[in-house]
Amino acid sequence: MTVWPFKRKRRGGRTNKYLNKVKEKTDVAGDTNTRIKTLQNICENKQLNRPVQKQGKDDISSCTQRLSSIKKTKTKRNHDSVFVDAGGVPKKLRQKVVQKLILANSDSDDEWTPPISKTLTKISSEGFKESTESREGEDNTSEPDDVARASSPSTSSSSSQNTVLDSYGRRSRARNTKDTLHHQGSVDDKKRCHQCSRKAGTVVPCCKCKQKLYCVKCIKTWYPQMSEEEIVEACPFCRGNCNCNTCLHSTGSSETQKRNITKAEKIRHAKFLIHHLLPFLKQICDEQSKEMEFEAGIRGIPLCDMEVEKTTYFDNERVYCNNCATSIFDLHRSCPKCNYELCISCCREIREGNLLGGADKVVFHYPNRGSEYIHGGDPLEETSELDYSIDQFKNVAGWKANSGGVVPCPPKAMAGCGSHALELKRIFPLSWIANLQVKAEELVQSFVQAPSKQDWTCTSNEMLRRAACRSNISGNYLYCPTLRDISKEKELMHFQKHWANGEPVIVRDVLDQASGLSWEPMVMMRALYDSTVFTTGSKFSEVKAIDCLAGCEVEISTHDFFKGYTEGRTYENLWPEMLKLKDWPPSANFEDLMPRHCEEFISALPFQDYAHPKSGLLNLAVKLPDGVLKPDLGPKTYIAYGLPKELGRGDSVTKLHCDVSDAVNILTHTKEVMLTEDQCSKVEIMKQKHKAQDEREGIRIAQEDRATVKETNAKQYDGIEGTNFPGFPCKLSEETGGALWDIFRRQDVSKLQDYLKKHYKEFRHIYCSPVEKVVHPIHDQAFYLTLEHKKKLKEEYGIEPWTFEQKRGEAVFIPAGCPHQVRNLKSCTKVALDFVSPENIQECFRLTEEFRRLPKNHKIREDKLEIKKMTLHAINQAVKDFEELMAAK
C-alpha cells in the first residue's frame, strides 16, 4: 500500500515586477474594455516575461488556469485596477488586485455579469481545454465543501469557465477562501483529499487515475466497506461511487448499462404491444361509438354527417369528470354555461338510472383518546376527533336524463347550474381512434403468428423460492433468478411467462451491476440537504414522519430521525417507537434532488425493457408523447425503522393495499436494531396490557399458544428442501431479510375482502382506535394482517399469500391488482418505481373502474394513472414504430 505523509510547505515570496509591468501597459489604456483587450493581447502575444510555475504548460494556459480561481465581487466602477495574472504575486496583494479588478467592471450593484466573458472565450478554448484534459475533475474536487456545493462539475472547456464564474458569484461559507484563490497549480493542492478537500495528515493515492487522493479519516467514515489497498488499486472516483459533495450532485457519472437491442427485438416488442393493447383499444372505441350513435339519434341526423365540437384542451393539463373524478381523454359532455364536465360512463349510468360513480361521502371518525389509551390505558374524558370527511355534494335523486336520453347539467347542490343540457365535446380528431383501430387490426392480421407464449418450466431449484404452502404445489414457488441468470437472452421470455400469470418475481443481487454508491442515510441526507440549499431554498432540518403506533404524522429533526434509524427509539415506557418516511424526499422530481442516487437505482433495475422509466420498450408510460402531462411514477424512497419481532401494535408496516400499476421495489440498505433485555421484558408486559384493553372493548383475536403454533407449523412445513416460509413460525435461514412481504393472488381477492368485512372490528387504525366502518376493505388501507390473522384466514377461507423475506440487493416485482402488505424486520431504505406493462393492463382498467365508484372524499379515488389515455398513445406509438421498422427493413 502506498501512503503519502506530508507536512505543509512554506510558499516562497515572489516579486511584484511582473505585476507592475502589466499595470504600466494597461493603465495607459482608456476605458475598461480597452484595458481588458490589452490584457488579452498580453496573454496571447506574450508581451511580458513572467515567472512560470512548473505545472504551467505555456503562458496562455497558466494564465487562464489561474483566472478560473478568481473570486467575483461588486463595488464602484472606474477603478484603476486591472485583470492580471495572480500567479506571481504575494497572497494579500494578489487578492486585493483581483477584487479591485472585478469590482471595476461592475456597472451597478446588481449581480456582476463580467464584460470580459467574450474576451475570455478565445483564451479558455485553448487554455481551459488543456488544463481540464490534463487534470480532469480537479477544479471541482479541490474546492472546500461548501464551495463545491455551489458548482456542478463539467469536463468541457466552456462549461468549466461558466462553472467557475457562476460558483464564485454566490456567497460562499468556505473556511479558507484564500486557498480557493490559489489552488490551481499549487504543489500542496496535490495532497488534498478529494472527499473533504482538506490537507489531511495521511492520504492514500489512487494508482489508476494518479490524481485523486483520499485521507484515512474519510475512508473510514464514508467508505467503511473499502480497504486502503482497494483505494490504491482504484479510488471511489474511478469506481464511480464517490459520495463527496460535488460527485453526489453530478450527472452522468454513472453510465447505465444499456442492452443493445436488435432490430428484430424491436419489431417483436412492437408486435407484442399491438397484440396486447388491441382488445382495449376496441373497448374504448365501442364506448365512444355508442355515445356517438346516441348523439346522432338525439340530433336526428345520420352518424356519418355528425360533427362534434372540439373542447379547449392543453397537453399539460388533466381533464377530470366532475362527478366520478375519472380522467377524460376524448369524448365527454360539458355544460355551455358553467363548464361542468361529465364522462361518458357517468352519462350511460344516468340514462340507465344507476349512477355508480361519485358515491356519497363517508365520514371516518378516529378519536384521539390520548397517549395512555394508545399504550393500553384508559381514554381521556375529552377527546379530539380526526375525521377524513370533507365538504362534498350528495347525489340528488332528481338528476335524471329526460325521455330522449339528454342528460341535463346537475343542480347547484352538485356543483352544476341545472339550467342547460350537457353537450357532447371531443379532444382528439373525430375519427382518430376509429382509424387507429382499423390500422392496428390490419397489422395484427398481417402477423404470421401471434407473439409466442412458450411454456417455460423452472427446472432449477436455485431460481425458485418457496413462498406458500397451498395444496397446489405449482403455485407455491416464485421465480427468483439472480442478476447473472437474467442476463441470458431467453430469460426475458421466462419472466414474461410468470408475469403474465400475475405472479410476483424476485431478482437477487441487483446492486452488483451498479457502481456501489452508498445508500447510508447520512449520505442521502447530505445529498438532499446540499441540493435544496442551492436550488429550492427548502429546509430539511425537520421531516414529517409517520408514527406507526398512532398512525399519524409527527415532526422530528432530520438528525434525530436518522439517529433512531441506526440506534432505535423508544417511548417513555420503553415500547419501541417505529417511524417511517413515505415518498421521501418530498418532491415529485427525485432525479433533480438526488441525481447520483437516481442513476444508481436505474442502473440496478432488472428487466429494463419493462421497468426503465425513460427507455423501457414495454413500459406503456414511456409511450406518452412529449408535452403531455405524465403521471408521477417515481422513483420514490421509503425509509423506515424495523424490528424482527412482531409487536402486534405499532409495527413498522405498509398496510394492505393494491396498486393501480405495476411496481418494482429494491431494498438498498438495512440496519439491524435489537432490543435490550429490559426492553424485551417491558414489551411483554405492555402486550398483556394491550390484550386486556382489547377484551374490555370487545376486540377478540384468536391467539393460540405460540409454542403450539410453532410446533404445528414446523411439522407441517419441515422437510421442504432449500425453502424458507417466514409467514409462519418455522425454521428461519441463517441470513435474515430486511422486509417481510405478503402478496395475495388476484383470484383470492374476493375471499380476502369477505374475511376483512367479517373481522374488521378486530383491527385498530388511527390513534389505535378500533375500525368502525369499511368502505372498501383493501382500498381503505386500514388493515395489516398479523401472523394470527393470516392463520385464521387460511382456516376459514383456505387462502394464503405468497410470503417471503426481501434481502438487501433484491428487487421485488409486484403485478398490478395483487393486494400486498410489508413489515420491516430491520431499519430499511427501499426505492420503488411504478410502471405499466401490457400483460397487466386489464387490472389497470379494473382498478380504475373500482376507484371511480369510491366515495368522493376517499383518498385514492382520483384517477392519477389515466390508463385509457396512456393506452391510446401507447398503441399509436407501437404502430408507428412497427411501420418505420418494416419500411427500413
865 and 660 Cβ atoms separated by less than 8 Å: yes
Q: How far apart are CA 446 and CA 270, in angstroms?
A: 13
Please report the pLDDT score of residue 190 as a whole number. Answer: 61
CA proximity to 218, closest of 193, 192, 238, 239: 193
381 and 370 Cβ atoms separated by less than 8 Å: no
The DSSP code for 462 is: G
Count CB neighbours of 346 within 10 A: 23
Q: Residue 349 corresponds to which cell in the numbers above?
A: 349510468
Phi-psi region of 197 (alpha: psi -120 to 50; beta: other; left: phi over 0): left
The CA-CA-CA angle for residues 286, 288, 294, to 5°, reads 105
b/e burial code for range 560-578 (CB count within 10 A of at least 16 → b): ebbebbeebbebeebbbbb
Count CB neighbours of 408 within 10 A: 19
Q: How far apart are CA 869 and CA 796, in angstroms?
A: 41
Q: Count Cβ atoms within 10 A of the Cβ of residue 193 and give its class: 0-12 exposed, 13-18 middle, 19 or more buried.
A: buried
Who's near 382: CB < 8 A, 6+ residues apart? Answer: none
Please report the pLDDT score of residue 711 as a whole number. Answer: 40
Largest CA distance in the chain: 101
Residue spans of beta strands (DSSP E) within 264-331: 309-310
CA proximity to 844, closest of 861, 819, 865: 865
Give the number of residues written for the chain.
889
Q: Looking at the DSSP assignment, which residues form a beta bridge with residue 764?
A: 770
> What are the CA-CA distances from residue 111 to residues 72, 73, 84, 107 (Å)?
9, 8, 22, 10
Q: Residue 303 corresponds to which cell in the numbers above?
A: 352518424
Phi, psi of 155 (to 5 degrees): -105, -5
Phi, psi of 757 (to 5 degrees): -65, -30
Please report the pLDDT score of residue 97 as a whole number. Answer: 43
> What are the CA-CA distances from residue 636 to residues 594, 723, 762 (Å)?
11, 31, 32
Q: Looking at the DSSP assignment, which residues form a beta bridge with residue 585?
A: none
138 and 145 Cβ atoms separated by less than 8 Å: no
Q: How far apart are CA 878 and CA 440, in angstroms?
A: 9
DSSP three-state, residue 790: helix
CA proximity to 139, closest of 165, 164, 175: 164
DSSP three-state, residue 209: coil
Please report the pLDDT score of residue 595 as a whole number. Answer: 84
Q: Homologous superfamily of 461-854 in CATH?
A: Cupin (2.60.120.650)
> What are the CA-CA distances from residue 457 to residues 269, 439, 474, 495 (Å)?
23, 36, 10, 11
> What are the CA-CA distances from residue 398 to residues 75, 359, 745 (Å)?
74, 15, 42
Q: How far apart are CA 447 and CA 267, in angstroms?
A: 11
614 and 556 Cβ atoms separated by less than 8 Å: no
Who's near 501: CB < 8 A, 6+ residues apart? Answer: none
The helix-helix angle for 263-299 and 867-887 (nearest 10°) equals 130
287 and 434 Cβ atoms separated by less than 8 Å: no
DSSP three-state, residue 671: strand
Per the listing, cell 382528439 goes with 428
Q: Count Cβ atoms within 10 A of the Cβ of residue 279 and give its class: 0-12 exposed, 13-18 middle, 19 or more buried.
A: exposed
Report CA Rg, the chain. Answer: 33
Torsion of CA 458, 464, 466, 472, to 10 degrees: -10
CA proximity to 411, closest of 420, 355, 403: 420
The DSSP code for 89 is: S
82 and 101 Cβ atoms separated by less than 8 Å: yes
The arrangement of strands across the sheet holding 802-806 comes to 653-657, 820-824, 739-743, 802-806
> What are the CA-CA distances from residue 638 to residues 411, 507, 748, 824 (Å)?
44, 19, 28, 11
828 and 639 Cβ atoms separated by less than 8 Å: yes
Instruction: Name the strand (E) or helix (H) holding 752.
Output: helix 749-759
Which pLDDT tens digit goes with each residue over 222-253?
Answer: 888 888 888 888 898 888 888 888 888 776 54
| Residues of the chain scoring pLDDT < 50 | 1-19, 22, 26, 28-29, 43-187, 253-256, 389-396, 453, 533-538, 702-733
Q: Which amino acid is at 569?
A: R
Q: How far apart are CA 836 and CA 838, in angstroms?
A: 7
Q: How far apart are CA 612 and CA 609, in angstroms?
A: 6
> What are the CA-CA distances from residue 533 to residues 140, 149, 537, 564 (Å)?
18, 9, 5, 24
b/e burial code for range 54-74 (CB count within 10 A of at least 16 → b): ebbeebbbbbbbbbbbbbbeb
> What are the CA-CA distances from residue 368 to residues 553, 690, 709, 760, 768 (Å)?
13, 17, 35, 20, 8
How much of the chain is in helix, strand and coil states, percent to nearest 5? 40, 15, 45
DSSP three-state, residue 784: coil
Residue 236's Cα: distance from chain center in Å?
24
Q: How far apart are CA 652 and CA 564, in angstroms?
A: 13
Count CB neighbours of 390 within 10 A: 9
Whether residue 770 has a cis bond before it, omega within 30° of 0: no
How crowded is the C-beta side of 227, counted as CA atoms within 13 Å?
Answer: 5
> What are the CA-CA distances from residue 528 to residues 590, 602, 832 (Å)?
10, 18, 18
Q: Looking at 430-520, list the stretches that DSSP marks H as alpha helix, in order from N- to C-terminal side.
A: 432-446, 483-486, 491-500
Q: Which amino acid is at 674?
A: M
Q: Looking at the DSSP assignment, which residues form a beta bridge with residue 408?
A: 421
Residue 508's Cα: distance from chain center in Å?
20
Q: According to CATH, where is 2.60.120.650 located in the chain? A: 461-854
Q: How far apart are CA 150 and CA 171, in angstroms?
A: 9
Per the listing, cell 397489422 goes with 443
Q: Beta strand 820-824 with 653-657: parallel, antiparallel or unpaired? A: antiparallel
